């Protein structure tokens, strides 16, 4: 039952949704690639950023896209402090402890939001929230089309950051050779914290693009964590290009399998792809580490 008339819109929409996933995954892949930690608090951090965008809009009338200027540095700072003074201190560097610490942080953040904002879902309505643009017959919501461009831009910026700046070089060195990096005088703690900060800064951008098309409540992050992990592995842990391509791919897979198998069963497409990639190309599409 291939309705061609809705196959293209489905793909186009999948790409747009995938762009948001990619933005979320970009931060996660950096954090995993450098610090080798599975950040259980990633979803909660996204939630924090979303509340940030929502508050800026409702209290100060700041347009969500303008809010990027505020949110990206704010989330960066939050991430830096979190890694340097909480995660690093508490986990003593052991992987399994990091898991628990990020889990504890996630629980604290989620319930702090519950206490401060209650469980009510909050949305924002801007002039162009309901507008769509016509792309060859597919009506894509404007916020999503903007998110698509934003994701490309973010990936490009991150790649440039990694390749051109001293910080980027330090991060890459640290990711590859932790002990060697220390020996050449890289301040490991600082660079780790910077990486974590950049990872969360990506979420700040993601939130600005996501909220106009979605909503926020204390548990909103949970719906993205699994998909984000899938994309990170699919794209290759530590690869930005991988996160971008992986995100777009997963968005399309989700959309098209939803079309063929129904929305509920269609979710299975994501995980089957995930397992297949893991089995036959474990380093991911763009992964470099064996």
Question: For the chain, where are the alpha helices, taking DSSP H only?
Answer: 4-35, 42-60, 68-81, 88-91, 95-117, 142-164, 166-176, 178-183, 188-210, 222-235, 240-261, 263-266, 268-280
Q: Which of 32, 51, 192, 209 binds other proteins (CB under 8 A)?
A: 32
Site for other proteins in 255-284 (CB under 8 A): 255, 258-259, 262-265, 267-268, 271-272, 274-275, 278-280, 282
Given a contact cutoff of 8 angstroms between Cβ atoms, the answer to whether 31 and 273 are in contact is: no
- All residues at 6 or more sequence positions from 161 whose CB lies less than 8 Å from its CB, including other chains: 167, 168, 198
Site for other proteins in 107-146 (CB under 8 A): 107-108, 110-115, 117-123, 125, 130-132, 139, 141
The answer to whether residue 168 forms part of the interface with other proteins (CB under 8 A) is no
Q: Which of 69, 77, 94, 160 binds other proteins (CB under 8 A)?
A: 94
The answer to whether residue 103 forms part of the interface with other proteins (CB under 8 A) is yes
Residue 100 beta carbon to other proteins: minimum distance, rounded to whole angstroms: 5
Is 133 in a helix, a strand, or coil? strand
Given a contact cutoff of 8 angstroms between Cβ atoms, the answer to whether 77 and 197 are in contact is: yes
- Which C-beta is closer to other proteins: that of 89 or that of 169? 89
- Which C-beta is closer to other proteins: that of 63 or that of 123? 123
The answer to whether residue 68 forms part of the interface with other proteins (CB under 8 A) is no
Site for other proteins in 206-265 (CB under 8 A): 214-215, 217-220, 222-224, 226, 229-230, 233, 237, 255, 258-259, 262-265
Given a contact cutoff of 8 angstroms between Cβ atoms, the answer to whether 169 and 194 are in contact is: no
Is 7 in a helix, a strand, or coil? helix
């Amino acid at each position: 039952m291939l309705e061609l008339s809705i196959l293209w819109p489905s793909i186009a929409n999948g790409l747009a949704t995938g762009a948001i996933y990619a933005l979320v995954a970009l931060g996660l892949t950096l954090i995993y690639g450098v610090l080798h930690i599975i950040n259980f608090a990633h979803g909660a951090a996204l939630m924090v950023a979303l509340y940030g965008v929502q508050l800026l809009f409702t209290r100060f009338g700041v347009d969500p896209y303008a809010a990027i200027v505020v949110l990206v540095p704010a989330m960066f700072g939050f991430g830096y402090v979190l890694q340097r003074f909480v995660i690093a201190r508490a986990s003593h560097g052991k992987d399994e402890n990091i898991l628990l610490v990020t889990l504890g942080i996630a629980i604290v953040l989620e319930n702090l939001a519950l206490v401060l904002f209650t469980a009510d879902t909050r949305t924002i309505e801007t002039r162009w929230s309901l507008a769509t643009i016509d792309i060859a017959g597919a009506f894509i919501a404007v916020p999503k089309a903007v998110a698509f461009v934003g994701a490309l831009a973010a990936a490009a910026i991150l790649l440039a950051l990694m390749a051109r700046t001293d910080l980027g070089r330090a991060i890459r060195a640290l990711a590859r050779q932790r002990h060697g990096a220390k020996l050449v005088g890289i301040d490991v703690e600082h660079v780790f914290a910077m990486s974590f900060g950049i990872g969360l800064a990506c979420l700040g951008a993601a939130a600005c693009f996501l909220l106009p098309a979605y909503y926020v409540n204390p548990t909103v992050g949970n719906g993205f964590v699994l998909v984000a992990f899938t994309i990170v592995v699919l794209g290759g842990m530590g690869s930005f290009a991988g996160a971008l391509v992986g995100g777009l791919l997963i968005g399309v897979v989700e959309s098209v399998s939803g079309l063929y198998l129904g929305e509920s069963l269609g979710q299975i497409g994501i995980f089957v792809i995930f397992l297949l990639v893991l089995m036959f190309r474990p380093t991911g599409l763009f992964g470099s580490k064996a």
